[in-house]
Amino acid sequence: MIKLRSFHGGVHPPTHKKESTQSPIMAAPLPAQLIIPFRQHAGEAAKPVVQVGERVLKGQLIGEPVGPISSSVHAPTSGTITAIELQQIAHPSALPDLCATLVSDGLEEWGVRQTLSYRQLSSDELQKHLRRCGIVGLGGAVFPSDMKLRHPTVVNTLVINGAECEPYITCDDMLMRERAEGIVRGIEILRHALGTDAVLIGIEDNKPQAITAMQRAVDESSHPFKVVAVPTLYPGGSAKHLIKVLTGVEVPSGKLPTDVGVQCYNVATAYAAHRAVEHGEPLVSRIVTVTGNVEQPRNYEALIGTPFSELVELSVAKADTNRYIMGGPMMGVELPAVNVPLVKASNCVIAASDVLFPPPPPAMPCIRCTRCAQACPVELQPQELYWFAKSHNFGKAQEYDLFDCIECGACAYVCPSSIPLVQYYRYAKSEIRARDHEKRAADLARERHEFRQFRIEREKQEKAERLAQKERAAAEAKAKAAATATVIATPVDPSADTDDTQQMRIDAALARAKEQAATTPPKNTETLSPAQRAEIEAIEERRAHIHELAADAGADDEPPKHSQGN
Amino acid sequence: MTDYLLILIGTVFVNNIVMIKILGLCPFMGVSKKLETSLSMGAATTFVLTIASGSSYLVNHYLLGPDLAYLTTLSFIVVIAATVQFTEMVVKKTSPVLYQVLGIYLPLITTNCAVLGIPLLNVQAKHNFIESLLFGFGGAVGFTLVMVLFAGMRERMEGADVPVIFRGTAIAMVTAGLMSLAFMGFSGLVK
Amino acid sequence: MITALWIMIALAALLGMILGYASIRFRVEGNPLAEKIDAVLPQTQCGQCGYPGCKPYADAIAKGEADINLCPPGGEEGIHKLAELLGVEFKPFGEDAQPKPKAVAFIDEQICIGCTLCIQACPVDAIAGAAKQMHTIITSECTGCELCVPPCPVDCISMLPIEEKLTNWKWRYPVFELRQTS
Amino acid sequence: MLSSPFITRTLSVDRIMLRVLYALLPGIALYVWYFGPAILVSIALAVTAALATEALMLKLRDRPLRPFLSDYSALLTGVLIALSIPPLAPWWLPVVGTAFAIAVAKHLYGGLGSNPFNPAMIGYAVLIISFPHEMTHWLSPQDMGHSALSLGQQLHYIFTSTLPAGMQLDALTMSTPLDTLKTQLHLGMTVSDIRDLPIYGRLAGKGSEMVAAGFALGGIYLLIARIIPWQLPLAFLGTLFALSGVFNLIDPAHYAPPLFHWFSGAAMIGAFFILTDPITSPTTAKGRILFGMGAGLLTFLIRAYGGFPDGVAFATILMNMCVPLIDAWTQPKVFGKKGSKR
């Protein structure tokens, strides 16, 4: 028996897990059309590698990773790509992102599936395979799983996160009940890749059936994994908190679990790794809970890209449903529309009504009762953070460790004044990030400006030197000429453009441009041959691409988040 | 020994120079927006006040004596002004930001009535040299104490929903008044 | 009376000597404050403050020659920061120097004649191109200073406001809904 | 759009305040039992003034009335002020004190949640400094043989400041046990002699010791219900006990015993109802202990050496001033930063 530790704070919201665990996982029917966002993971968005109109097979790569922290995106079924454009996705901003639209042909025709025997493979090769298969943490943070296998230090404990502490969500619970064997195989693959000895599978004790199923699968596999029932306490499924409970190690702030010799994966990620390695299936589907204000709450195995509306229709939303939440009630996001697509991070969708989740009463002022501080699992002082965020005092907020906040919502859950605390923290965090970004941009601009001034100065000097040299040369030549008494015209140096001639040229160009503008339509490509036009178009495309790259570069500097155990 | 302790307690708490004697309000209101600044201001004032009370005792006792009592105020001002000038140069050299932050209030220590008040009170109370030093030091510590407490409260009030017409100096004055009320609780502790 | 005079003179002389020594001993070189001010400025190098760049403006503030409310790109927050750094009161922008939404320059390449005038104007070398070649703004380097706009002889440069995308989206300040219930 | 979390536990501010008010009931009931119903008039006056001032200030500040009037915080302030001033006081005394407390100490700072000082104690301090004479006429316990006034006569006095013919105010009232102790010590009596005076009971003042016990009872309910943190009353009462105990051991003739300190004056109501005001007390565990100890120390100093008979109010507002600094300097280390230096 291993000794369990505890962490500070935590809350016990009503779990509401029973509703959706009554019926087994059901495969959702194939939708007619899928919308697949290219940004489904933490880090850089994937780059499209298919053309509009192209036919793709199930599991075919349609987006390839860009840069080290990125992952692949695959076609979830066979069919035709009909568009690659900006579409609304499940994001609190309701802003659109680049997505591929895939009209399925109903054949579910698989592409090449490369199965591997993991025992013969090195960690490096496994990493490459997971990256190719688009495996990311399915606990919510969607951090690329291959990155988590890369670690400079020795990792001696692998923690598998089956805690699933959020209310309503049961996808991991059902996965463990029904597919424990696959999970255990996946864990063994990850363990092999990490080279660890100890494996601890943490499951909250409100899921006895999942614990039994996992224990049986572990026993049958004869791997020395330990299945540990951990006390039910929100947010016990946060990776760092589960690690604390199971191993007693507190992952230092700003560090990764691997820095203290631990790595953590979600059970669903382990299962996905198993499918990827032993069946050659990239991550094209996941288990998702549909619950809340619906007639038949249950779990579905749905393709990535399935519009949520299709799933909600299967479960039949009740009449008074007025909004939908992706994720749990503590950390989820409200969907901007119900037809946005399922992504790798979507573990649950809750149909919500004002009866189920009554809108909070108007926020009262904070009375510093510190119920939030008692509930905070990170031991922050939420009342101070709120005070600073409210008055835009971001420096102080950072001093009080704002960035250690995991946004679990325990503080707002207990707040007697009903203050939307988490939203204040998110606001403060994104403001601080934006400011840091601006600061870096300003520093860069200063550097460039100073370099430019230095360059101008240098050029001036060089010019002066050249001029002096020329004068000397001219003087010598004059002397020579005088000496030989032969008249030779000094050749005009083409590089020594005087200001006047330059001005004249500009004027001439100006006149030409004006003339052009007056006589012909502004397009200066009218009279070109088709071949030339095609070439120009190609150039334009490249340029647009460069634009995009330039716009994206440095735009997303958000550090990877490790919140809900992935 | 007990006398000295009583002087200290008396000047820091019971007869606090800002809260009870209501001296030195200008820097008290002006440099108490931020905690660090108020601490630095307190330190600078403590330095100036201690030196000023010591040297003014010397000036008064050895230079002026009872015959030239009419010169007390005049010569004290000269001594204080010089001390402040000296402090200003040191601060400017050692901490330019502090110099900038203290701004006009640094030279204004010269006209801080607390700094002139304490040497004069020393003369009035016929303190000896050690007592004068302690009286000056204690007064300055009391000044620093309330400055720091005040700055802490003002920093917290930054986030408060204070009625618009009371924002800034107005609410600070109200707070100073209430602090003064609280300090009256010390009355009678030391005679 | 004479004694009093002598005493005051002696006092003055003594203190004068101490101060004279101190002024030599604690002499301050340069102005480290200007650096601190420069670090607060947004580095657009736009010259809207009336000084040729951010550093000269910082120097001017440090010397007390310039006001702190002359930098529109820094926004009200920039003024607040300067006010805090310098320990002075906040001062709102003047009528003629209101901040605009952040933007980057965009060159309409159909019109551009490749005159390089904008390249010479750009304070941060954020325009790529050469004589008689098309010019392009390097968007990630552009500070939005608008200095390239007036020199362009064919008016092909426009300022495009930076639009909100997923990558730069920010959480909003929570709305205090107290008033609705009353 | 709303942000997560979408569910909340429903314990609202008004319910917290209401529970604090309930916890005051046993003390108030004992007050009425021992000193007659005049205190209820006082409470009614103070509460009316509190709500009226609160409404006026909210109106002036253009804030909604309903949520703030129904949060019971102004009501609580009124009750606490009424309990800390003599019940047989002219009607304007509780009214002025409460109005000042709500208007200046609370609303000028932005209302609920923003006030740095405990409004009730500011109200009390203003009254004791401005009207020291009116603040010394305390009712005697009813069973002490004084010719107690009827309720009608008391009401008549409260509203008109005139007594029935032939009655002297000084004969009807007494000073508090703490005040008497201080005066008599000055006159050279020893503590044990003083405590033989008829106004004293077993532990402290006759009657008032039971009222204090009533407040302690309510306080223990608040502790059990986890409405107030345990650190504050424990640190305060502990420090008061330790200090008075040590001095009492050294010089029993001039220093009252610890239990006398506990059960006289505002020690109990202060420990459980005044220091524990969350808005004006520190938010960290360490800070609360410091705060309670500081208040205990100051209370003892003022009681033993100061010019005022009781020190709880002044100790409270003096410690209120230190709260921002205490909070800032006692921040606990967050998860993952243990062992590292801040």
Query: What local confidence, expressed as pLDDT, does residue D18 receive?
Result: 92
User: Does pLDDT of A490 surpass 60?
Assistant: no
One domain for residues A195 and A305: yes
User: Does pLDDT of D341 surpass 60?
Assistant: no
Cβ–Cβ < 8 Å for A43, A71:
yes
Strongest mean pLDDT among A562-566, D158-162, D313-317: D313-317
Q: What's the gap between Cα C106 and its chain centre?
A: 23
Q: Which among C147, C154, C100 is positioned nearest to C124, based on CA atoms?
A: C147
One domain for residues C107 and C60: no
One domain for residues A386 and A242: no
Strand order in the sheet with A262-266: A226-230, A198-204, A157-162, A262-266
- Across chain B, mean pLDDT equals 86
**Interchain pair A412, D5: CB under 8 A:** yes
One domain for residues A166 and A257: yes
Q: Which two tokens stand for residue A548?
A: 């995009």
Q: Search chain A and give the residue with CA nearest B162.
A: A391
- Across chain D, mean pLDDT equals 88
Q: Search chain C and give the residue with CA nearest B92.
A: C28
- Concatenating the DSSP letter of every residue in A333-383 gives EE-S-TTSBP-TT--EEEEE-TTTSPPPPPPPPP----HHHHH-TT---HH
Query: What local confidence, expressed as pLDDT, does residue A561 receive?
Result: 41
Mutate to test the interface with C, among A41, A446, A527 (most CBs of C within 10 A): A446
- Residues 6 or more apart in contact with residue B48 via CB below 8 angstroms: B80, B83, B84, B87, B109, B115, B140
Rounded distance between C-alpha atoms, residue A356 and residue A246, angstroms = 34
Domain C-terminal end among A275, A304, A326 = A326
Q: Which two tokens stand for residue D159?
A: 């509203």
Rounded distance between C-alpha atoms, residue D248 and residue D237, angstroms = 16
Query: What local confidence, expressed as pLDDT, does residue C180 receive?
Result: 39
- Residues 6 or more apart in contact with residue D157 via CB below 8 angstroms: D88, D90, D149, D163
One domain for residues C57 and C110: no
Q: What's the gap between Cα D135 and its chain centre?
A: 14
In a domain, A299, yes or no: yes
Residue A122 burial (CB < 10 Å; 0-12/13-18/19+)?
A: exposed
Confidence at A562, pLDDT banded by 50, 70, 90: very low
User: How many CB pairs below 8 Å do chains C and D form together?
Assistant: 14
Q: What's the gap between Cα B173 and its chain centre?
A: 17
One domain for residues A367 and A318: no
Confidence at C182, pLDDT banded by 50, 70, 90: very low
* Residues in chain A closer than 8 A to B161 (CB atoms): 365
CA dihedral for D221, D227, D230, D234, sign (positive or negative): negative
DSSP type of residue A87: E
C175 to chain D, any CB pair closer than 8 A? The answer is no
In a domain, A507, yes or no: no
Q: Which range marks the domain in which residue A428 is found?
A: 361-455
Q: Please give, rounded to a whole number of angstroms, the shortest distance from the CA of B15 to a CA of chain C.
A: 31
Mutate to test the interface with A, among D63, D69, D71, D335 (most CBs of A within 10 A): D335
Q: For the residues B111-116, what does the mean pLDDT come to?
A: 82
Strand, helix or coil for residue A119: helix
* Residues in chain B closer than 8 A to D318 (CB atoms): 182-183, 185
B36 to chain A, any CB pair closer than 8 A? The answer is no
Q: Please give, rounded to a whole number of angstroms, the shortest distance from the CA of C81 to a CA of chain A.
A: 12
D122 to chain B, any CB pair closer than 8 A? The answer is yes
Query: What local confidence, expressed as pLDDT, does residue A530 receive?
Result: 66
Cα angle C138, C143, C148 (rounded to 5 degrees) comes to 75
User: Does pLDDT of C136 surpass 90?
Assistant: no
Q: Please give, rounded to a whole number of angstroms, the shortest distance from the CA of D323 to a CA of chain A.
A: 12
Q: For the residues B136-164, what does the mean pLDDT come to?
A: 91
CA dihedral for A298, A302, A304, A306, sign (positive or negative): negative
* Tens-digit pLDDT profile for residues A300-324: 999 999 999 999 999 999 999 989 9
Q: Please give, rounded to a whole number of angstroms, the shortest distance from the CA of D148 to a CA of chain B.
A: 33
In a domain, A151, yes or no: yes
Q: For the residues D136-155, what does the mean pLDDT come to?
A: 70
Query: What local confidence, expressed as pLDDT, does residue A543 receive?
Result: 65
* Residues in chain A closer than 8 A to D281 (CB atoms): 368
Q: Please give, rounded to a whole number of angstroms, the shortest distance from the CA of A445 to a CA of chain C.
A: 6
**Interchain pair B103, C86: CB under 8 A:** yes
A373 to chain D, any CB pair closer than 8 A? The answer is yes
Q: For the residues D114-129, what does the mean pLDDT come to?
A: 94
Between residues B148 and D174, the one the model is more confident about: B148
* Residues in chain C closer than 8 A to B89 (CB atoms): 19, 22-23, 26
In a domain, C134, yes or no: yes
Rounded distance between C-alpha atoms, residue B31 and residue B40, angstroms = 9
- Concatenating the DSSP letter of every residue in A47-77 gives EE-S-TT-EE-BT-EEEE--SSS---EE-SS
One domain for residues A121 and A178: yes
Q: For the residues C81-88, what does the mean pLDDT come to?
A: 80
Q: Search chain B and give the residue with CA nearest A385.
A: B159
* Residues in chain C closer than 8 A to A429 (CB atoms): 171
B93 to chain A, any CB pair closer than 8 A? The answer is no
DSSP type of residue A258: G
**Interchain pair C166, A426: CB under 8 A:** no
Instruction: Report the number of distinct structural domains present in chain A.
Output: 2
D218 to chain B, any CB pair closer than 8 A? The answer is no
Confidence at C10, pLDDT banded by 50, 70, 90: confident
- Residues 6 or more apart in contact with residue D19 via CB below 8 angstroms: D222, D225, D227
Query: What local confidence, expressed as pLDDT, does residue A170 receive?
Result: 95
One domain for residues A399 and A304: no
Instruction: Report the number of distinct structural domains present in chain C.
Output: 2
**Interchain pair B159, A365: CB under 8 A:** no
Q: Which among A237, A245, A187, A177 is positioned nearest to A213, based on CA atoms?
A: A177
Query: What local confidence, expressed as pLDDT, does residue A565 receive?
Result: 39
Q: Over pLDDT 90: what percentage of chain D?
A: 54
* Tens-digit pLDDT profile for residues B66-96: 778 888 888 888 888 888 888 888 887 887 7
Query: What local confidence, expressed as pLDDT, does residue A520 receive?
Result: 46
Query: What local confidence, expressed as pLDDT, does residue D154 receive?
Result: 79
In a domain, C58, yes or no: yes
User: Does pLDDT of C181 surpass 50?
Assistant: no
Q: Which range marks the domain in which residue C132 is found?
A: 100-163
Which CATH number is C71's domain given? 1.10.15.40
Query: What local confidence, expressed as pLDDT, does residue A491 receive?
Result: 47
Residue type, A437: H
Query: Which among C171, C174, C181 is the nearest to D67, CB-wise?
Result: C181
Rounded distance between C-alpha atoms, residue A357 and residue A14, angstroms = 12
- Concatenating the DSSP letter of every residue in D93-156 gives HHHHHHHHIIIIIIITTTSTTT-SS-HHHHHHHHHHHH-TTGGG-EEPPGGGSS-PPPHHHHHH
User: Which chains share 3+ C-beta pairs under 8 angstroms with B?
Assistant: A, C, D
Q: Which among D216, D326, D319 is positioned nearest to D271, based on CA atoms?
A: D216
Query: Which among A333, A379, A412 is the nearest to D8, CB-wise?
Result: A412
Which of A213-227, C29-43, D87-101 has the least mean pLDDT?
Answer: C29-43
Which of A12-21, A345-354, D166-175 has the least mean pLDDT?
Answer: D166-175
Which of A21-30, A485-494, D323-332 has the least mean pLDDT?
Answer: A485-494
Between residues A488 and D79, the one the model is more confident about: D79
Q: For the residues D60-87, what does the mean pLDDT come to?
A: 90
Put simply, the chain C residues between 69 and 108 with a CB less than 8 A from any chain A CB are: none
Residue type, C165: K
Q: Please give, rounded to a whole number of angstroms, the shortest distance from the CA of A367 to a CA of chain B.
A: 12
Q: Search chain D and give the residue with CA nearest A363.
A: D67
Q: Which two tokens stand for residue C16?
A: 């004068």
* Residues in chain A closer than 8 A to B159 (CB atoms): 387-388, 390-391, 393
- Across chain A, mean pLDDT equals 86
Rounded distance between C-alpha atoms, residue B126 and residue A566, angstroms = 76
Query: What local confidence, expressed as pLDDT, does residue D220 receive?
Result: 95
User: Does pLDDT of A132 surpass 80?
Assistant: yes
Mutate to test the interface with C, among B89, B99, B101, B110 (most CBs of C within 10 A): B89
Confidence at C144, pLDDT banded by 50, 70, 90: confident
In a domain, C9, yes or no: no
User: Which chains share 3+ C-beta pairs under 8 angstroms with C?
Assistant: A, B, D
**Interchain pair C178, D3: CB under 8 A:** no
* Tens-digit pLDDT profile for residues D227-262: 999 999 999 999 999 999 999 999 998 898 999 999
* Tens-digit pLDDT profile for residues A323-364: 999 999 999 999 999 999 999 999 999 999 988 998 888 888
Between residues A548 and D307, the one the model is more confident about: D307
Task: Record the pTM.
Answer: 0.86
Q: Search chain B and give the residue with CA nearest D325.
A: B152
Q: Over pLDDT 70: what percentage of chain A?
A: 85
Rounded distance between C-alpha atoms, residue D139 and residue C59, angstroms = 72
User: How many CB pairs below 8 Å do chains A and B form together?
Assistant: 9
In a domain, A352, yes or no: no
- Residues 6 or more apart in contact with residue A497 via CB below 8 angstroms: none
In a domain, A535, yes or no: no
* Residues in chain D closer than 8 A to B168 (CB atoms): none
Q: Search chain B and give the residue with CA nearest A367.
A: B160
Q: Over pLDDT 70: what percentage of chain B?
A: 96
D55 to chain C, any CB pair closer than 8 A? The answer is no
User: Does pLDDT of B144 surpass 90?
Assistant: yes
In a domain, A11, yes or no: no
Query: Which among A92, A367, A383 is the nearest to D1, CB-wise?
Result: A92
* Tens-digit pLDDT profile for residues D258-317: 999 999 889 999 999 999 999 999 999 999 999 999 999 999 999 998 888 888 999 999
